[in-house]
Structure 1
Amino acid sequence: MTLAGKAAIAGIGATEFSKDSGRSELRLASEAVRGALDDAGLAPSDVDGMVTFTMDANAEIAVARELGVGELSFFSRVHYGGGAAAATVQQAAMAVATGAADVVVAYRAFNERSGQRFGQVSSAAAHQVNSSGVDNSFHYPAGIATPAATVAMAAQRYLYEYGATTEDFGRVAVVDRKHAATNPNAWFHGKPISLDEHQASRWIAEPLRLLDCCQETDGGIALVITSAARAKDLPHTPVRVAAAAQGSGTGQYVMTSYYRDELAALPEMGVVGRQLWEQSGLGHSDVDVAVLYDHFTPYVLLQLEELGFCGRGEAKDFITGDTLELHGKLPLNPHGGQLGEAYLHGMNGIAEGVRQIRGSAANQVTGARNVLVTAGTGVPTSGLVLGAYEW
């Protein structure tokens, strides 16, 4: 049994990306879902399944009530923050493929800049009465209490082990911001950066500079997933879920997996990658666009290695020249990624994958047929291969 091709993404919807939405998170979620349904040519009454994140403040039943959705036969929440992004589509695709639901909406909405800011210290994270609270209590007293601080530990080790430099991290930021500059929906539209500007930006948690860290965003994204047969008759070109996977590595923690033999690695993404290649039947040379989760630039390099595009420690050489440009060997984040477009926990990256296959992206990669999308790294994670149907 395989999931490949059984389900399709038929609709995408989004609010504007801002730093102060002026609206409740529930309203943002509702607007995004409504937009996705309109895009798919479906009504709220067609929806019988909903999937979101455990960190989303908008309960499935609340969103359903706001939109006038009737009965739900499937609802699910995926854990581990940004690592859940692609897994929401996996959950929806499994529900559709097994008959648990016919039309499933996956969504994520938050006021992550004007409300609760995930990038700041949250003492509550170490006070949770659960195993995650115990885990966090190990490193919070040492000052490792923000996402940037947790990633900086692994990034520093990566520099030490493989001779990379912070300029190598900066090349990812420069490419993302270049693409965002020509995407009208991106927060940093019209605002590219140079490598010199990256290097001059202030330290956040050494070796991470300000421009290595993704922005904080208010907004919402939603996706409509249904069967390939039903999607074929809807307004837009259906996008095939060619592969979907989750992964957690040995000795896994949430952003603080410091007790493994290798600190400068993301084995959970390796777990995901092996499944994606096997399910899709594709190889690295078949990938036309890579939408890689870029909350912090070093983890883009590590993902390239874990996914097999290059060997351990070789990403710094792999990304030289025009490799990541729109016309390059592996175009990276044509929408600008989370560094340039918006930080919506990776859901905007999935929407970009859909646009690339449809041929409607602001920065369209010519002939894009297969798009690799990854979710949050440093945590248990997920990934997708999106493709075009050959009818």
Structure 2
Amino acid sequence: MSGRRVAVAGIGATAFTKDSGRSELALAAEAVRAALADAGLAPADVNGLVTFTMDTSPEIAVAQATGMGELSFFSRVHYGGGAACATVLQAALAVASGTAEVVVCYRAFNERSGRRFGAGLTRRAPSAEGVALGWGMPYGLLTPASWAALQARRYLHVHGLEPEVFGHAAVTARRHAARNPAAYFHGRPLTLAEHAASRWIVEPLRLLDCCQETDGGQALVLTGLERARTLRHPPAVVLAAAQGAARGQEQMTNFYREDITGLPESRVVAERLWRTSGLRPADVDAAVLYDHFTPHVLMQLEEFGFCGPGEGGAFLAADALPVNTHGGQLGEAYLHGMNGIAEGVRLLRGTSANQVPGAGRVLVTAGSGVPTSGLILGADG
């Protein structure tokens, strides 16, 4: 990424609930207005919008609902939660190239009271994506949990581990969520024993290995670094941003790879982030890792080079790196990873509920098992 340096200048969200009682457009508009207010900008300052292909609120509808003027850039990113950090990449490219001056990334849905992704596949028109899913559906692989469980079982077998190892990701997330007033599980930490006692969803995944379902919205404001420096909060500089799809990528999780115990799409992102930024895992002060299912937290730690294969659980247990200080999607809210980016910004501002002293560089990842994306955000200066 070349051109002007770019920063996240504003973050905003709705309340995270289980029944918003509002339209998804209303949630999107509230989150966008909150992010602009946080930055100290007006809707009229915005001339770019980015969201997910899965979002139901069109860019022009959000622009109209929030009082924006003309747009010179609008874009959407595919692959569900894998799109989260890629929305920031799209926005940063637009600002760096001069295509837009202020770009807002947003995601809003009634994922708990409306369409619940965890409910499994519903009737849908034939598509190229559906072909890949169709190979496993006759054998009972009908939900995201079942897709992740098959990979998780192989991971445990190859590394000689038991399902309890996944509990370290759940306990870490809930410990942080317990101290975060915005989190759904605020005040409710978790023990390894409670994790191990939770009911099976699809072995080896228990209820507490699966992220929650949430109604809500999250938005981020990006602009040039020089302009961001004049706004209300210290800017979170986009040091590196990347997308990644592995060879022979399928959605979600390719069971025909030679090795299904890792996340090669995350490795593609990791290699590009480290190369682009000139940083290494040891240079990162905190990580916000996409945690739709606990095994993928462990696998991401391994793919990004924080530890070796099969060592993710032990790495978390040793508390060697602050991970998901907002509580993650397991503890705070499931917002397709957008709330994780906001937490990265808070860590750099020094305003996280679980602040890491002196945090200057934060890794943020998006949905794994699908074509994905990632960011390294840094403090200014």
Establish whether TM, by shorter chain, passes 0.5.
yes
Equivalent position amino acid for 1:132 in 2:
E
| 2:24 corresponds to | 25
Alignment equivalent of 2:334, drawn from 343, 363, 367: 343
- 2:368 matched residue in structure 1: 377
**Separation of aligned partners in 1, 2:131 and 2:282:** 43
Deviation at 1:227, TM superposition (A): 0.4
Q: What's the counterpart of residue 145 of structure 1?
A: 142
After superposition, give the CA deviation of every residue in 1:250-299 in whole Å (9 maximum; x if it has no partner): 11101130111111110000000011111111111111011000110000
How far has the Cα of 1:181 moved from its partner?
Answer: 0.4
Equivalence map 1:251-266=2 (5 Å):
251-266=248-263
Task: Verify the 8 A CA contact 1:187 1:340 in the aligned structure 2.
Answer: yes
2:255 is aligned with 1:248: no
d(CA) in 2 for partners of 1:320, 1:136:
34
Shift of 1:368: 0.5
Q: What is residue 300 of structure 1 aligned with on the other side?
A: 297
Cα distance in 2 for partners of 1:58, 1:159 equals 40
1:366 lines up with 2:357 in the alignment = yes
Q: Distance in 1 between matches of 2:167 and 2:280?
A: 28
Residue in structure 2 matched with residue 118 of structure 1 by the alignment: 117
For 1:386, the equivalent position in structure 2 comes to 377
- Whichever residue aligns with residue 66 of structure 2, its letter is L
The alpha-carbon deviation at position 234 of structure 1 amounts to 0.6
Aligned counterparts of 1:17 and 1:159: Cα–Cα separation in 2 = 33
Distance of 1:319 and 1:188 partners within structure 2: 20
Equivalent position to 1:234, from 231, 234, 238: 231
Residue 325 of structure 2: which of 318, 322, 334 is its match? Answer: 334
Decide whether the 8 Å contact of 1:2 with 1:279 is kept in 2: no
Instruction: Give the drift of 1:6.
Output: 1.2
Match of 2:166 among 169, 183, 187: 169
SS in 2 for 1:119: helix
Is 1:203 aligned to residue 200 of structure 2?
yes
Residues 173-231 of structure 1: CA deviation (Å, up to 9, x unaligned): 01100110010110000011110000000000000000000000000000000001111
* Residue of 180, 183, 187 corresponding to 1:186: 183
- CA separation of 1:317/1:193 partners in 2, compared to 1, >3 Å: closer, same or farther? closer
Gapped runs of 5+ residues in structure 1?
324-328
Note if contact 2:48-2:72 (Cα within 8 Å) is conserved in structure 1: yes
Q: TM-score, normalised by structure 1?
A: 0.96
Q: Give, in angstroms, the shift of residue 363 of structure 1.
A: 1.1
- The residue number in structure 1 matching 2:271 is 274
Do the aligned partners of 2:269 and 2:374 also contact (CA within 8 Å) in 1?
Answer: yes
Identity of aligned residues (%): 64
**Where does residue 50 of structure 2 map in the other structure?**
51
Cα distance between partner residues in 1 of 2:168 and 2:197: 14
- The one-letter amino acid of 1:7's match is V
SS at match of 2:70: coil
Do structure 1's residue 287 and structure 2's residue 315 form an aligned pair? no
Structure 2 residue matching 1:204: 3-state secondary structure? strand
What is the deviation of 1:141? Answer: 1.9
Indicate the residue corresponding to 2:95 in structure 1: 96
Aligned length: 381
**1: CA distance, partners of 2:150 / 2:125:** 23
SS in 2 for 1:319: helix
Paired residues of 1:44 and 1:67 also in contact (CA < 8 A): yes
The whole-number CA distance in structure 1 between the counterparts of 2:125 and 2:52 is 18
Contact in 2 for aligned 1:164/1:316 (Cα 8 Å):
no
Cα drift, residue 123 of structure 1:
2.5
SS of the equivalent of 1:123 reads coil
Segments ≥4 residues shifted beyond 4 Å: none
Tell me the C-alpha RMSD between the 2 structures: 1.1
Q: Distance in 2 between matches of 1:201 and 1:188?
A: 16
For residues 55-90 of structure 1, what are the alpha-carbon distances to aligned partners after superposition, in whole Å with 9 as ceiling and x for unaligned? 101110110010111111100000000000000000
Q: What is the alpha-carbon distance in structure 1 between the residues aligned to residue 287 and residue 76 of structure 2?
A: 26
